[in-house]
Amino acid sequence: MMEASLTTVLFLACCFVPAFGDDSPFVTTSQGRIVGTTLQFRPEGRPELHGAVDAYLGIPYAEPPVGPLRLRPPVAKSWSGELQATKPGNPCPQPKMNWGKLTQISSLVEDCLVLDVFVPQQVPSGAAVLVFIHGGGYFMGQGTFKEFSPATTAAIGDVILVTMNYRLGALGFLSTGDDVIPGNFGLLDQQLALKWIRDNIQAFGGDPERVAIFGESAGSASVNHQMLSPGSAGLFRGAIMESGNVHSPWATIETEKARKIAFALGKLLGCERDTSEELLECLQKVEDIDYIIKSQQEGLAKEFGDAILLVPVVDGNFLPSPPAELYAKSAINDAVSIIGSNADEGNLWFTMLFPDISDEAPFINSTTYEAFGPIFESMISTEHIVTDAVKLMYTDPTCIDGPGCNYVEAISQMIGDFWFACPADKTARAYTQAGRKVYRYFMTHDPTTKISGPSWLKANHEEELPFVFGLPLVGLPSDDYPTTEDEVRMSIQTIKYWSNLAKTGNPNLSSLDAELTDEEIKTEWPLFTVEGLEYKDLTPDMLNGRGIKARECRFWNEFVPQLIKTAEDAKKCKESGSRWTQDGSSESETCTKDKCPEVPEK
């Protein structure tokens, strides 16, 4: 409880001032009365933006997932009477891992399935609703950070904003690949929270028919998963994906591997068992949550060589089929989407590789680049011809293998395209071909102050969040946050775009009968089309462009899969003495080993 109280103090710091007195705000839901607290929004030097936001914090939407409810789908919370919702709830169990200027509060409390609701006092009746799904690699994070006050977005956007906590790590995403521990519990938590919003948001003045969900990183991929889940149909009409979706290589895992991970974790926790049923029974009795967290972060990473292993799977329920199959069938929930990423997100890889990252950019020479080869192969392909093609695509042809050649930018752009930009391109095309409206963005602005670390990281992963949550207007509660007037304007416009999607289904319009000014028409955000590849460049000028990484994304989404298949087929041919055709059949009578295509060896 001490941590929660400290969070409240820091959360209310800066330009939000709590209003004390006997006139605390309250709403009456079908379950009972919810009492909140009022925050006075007073950004310095901007009296035209002053207002008040009522905050309802730590509202439980599901029963504590403990005992027999651990590693099971969430159960809606039943309560009655009066709920004091004036303090944040517990973050879900996670390790303590700071990310730049963001502070993760470690937690070992499973009673964490709560949400926060922020309601501007001047918001109109039947207000639009934005729902935030946090990121953190599916193993850390919380709905409301003390550095990012959702009340700012609510006040500037004139919308109700809701954040949520969902189960993380093994407790949220462990899967045995069957009906015993099917996995995706964190996604089901999100879905249940969305159902709670549908059933209760009118009590706060919101319109359940005007809900848009938005997320960043793993939260963005979660939004994408909600778009593909039949159980989420009708729960929202807008979906904003910031840097992550189901095609990101870290966002899903094969069922067979997930099962191996589940039994490996069981062994680490003293639950070495033969069947899924026996494993579940043992894991539900493990009392040391800290041991679970350490085992999943350290033990599994050591055994499998990856820190992000506990992620969504195709479970046949929440996600009925592989995403590619759902895309092919246009089995996509009906919502208007904003899909984007940032220009320098590959720098995230350096912050992960070097936790104590320097204020100066690293120098990666050719020898170090080659030493990273096994890492790249594990991420992309073990076929050397593929990693050679990637190197050819991204390295500077005028500076190859020389002592003064720095491969930092090449690695950054390669990782950023592979992890974020090109999966976003694939999803945007699939949505459009399924008849869904899509708006695309690419943030190229280099923020004056980075939330993720040193200045050389530029438009790194997560750097759009300060603009979405209005940080240039309010700063940080404990650190200086130098910014510019242009960035204040950029933040206000970004919030309006996001809020307008919830209000009208069009980021350009705040109401259906609104008309754009001549100035707005010049930079109106155009719909994405496969022919035009239109997008909005997130900068203070908010200009439009065409073709986000178009050449690179054809390379990743079309050429690389073909190259991998060709290399694999060539090996099969060598091994069997047969020619392998495009459909996987063999023509042994027309092929001998000496006629198989050659694949260069390293």
| C-alpha to C-alpha distance for 48 and 45, rounded to whole angstroms | 9
Those residues whose C-beta lies under 8 Å from the C-beta of residue 589, and which sit 6 or more positions away, are: none
Q: Please tell me which residue in 107, 217, 229, 412 is annotated as part of the active site.
A: 217
For residue 448 the two structure tokens come to 């004056």
Q: Please tell me which residue in 134, 247, 445, 461 is annotated as part of the active site.
A: 461
In sequence order, what DSSP letters do the residues of 229-278 get, joined into one string?
Answer: -GGGTTS-SEEEEES--TTSTTS---HHHHHHHHHHHHHHTT---SSHHH
CB neighbour class for 470 (10 Å; exposed up to 12, middle 13-18, buried from 19)? buried
The alpha carbon dihedral of 167, 171, 176, 180 has a sign of negative
| C-alpha to C-alpha distance for 99 and 131, rounded to whole angstroms | 23
Those residues whose C-beta lies under 8 Å from the C-beta of residue 256, and which sit 6 or more positions away, are: 177
Q: Which phi and psi angles does 403 have, rounded to 5°?
A: -65, -25
Helix axes 276-283, 255-268, angle to 10 degrees: 50
Report the SS3 class of residue 396: coil
Determine if residue 71 is left, alpha or beta; phi over 0 gives left, psi from -120 to 50 gives alpha, anything else beta: left
Q: HSE, CB side, 13 Å, CA atoms: give it for residue 432.
A: 19
In sequence order, what DSSP letters do the residues of 329-357 get, joined into one string?
Answer: TT---S-EEEEEEETTTTHHHHHHH-TT-
Compute, in degrees rounded to 10, the torsion defined by CA atoms 500, 505, 510, 516. 110
CB neighbour class for 129 (10 Å; exposed up to 12, middle 13-18, buried from 19)? buried
Distances (CA, A) of 320 to 77, 316, 326: 26, 4, 8
Q: Is 520 a catalytic residue?
A: no
Residue 282 DSSP symbol? H
Q: Is 217 a catalytic residue?
A: yes
What is the biggest distance separating any 2 CA atoms in the chain, rounded to whole angstroms?
88
Those residues whose C-beta lies under 8 Å from the C-beta of residue 530, and which sit 6 or more positions away, are: 429, 432, 433
Radius of gyration of the chain measured on its C-alpha atoms: 25
3-state SS, 213-241, equals EEEECHHHHHHHHHHHCHHHCCCCCEEEE
**545, containing H or E segment:** strand 544-546
- Residue keyed to tokens 């984007």: 340
Q: Please tell me which residue in 110, 147, 242, 345 is annotated as part of the active site.
A: 345
State the catalytic residues. 217, 345, 461
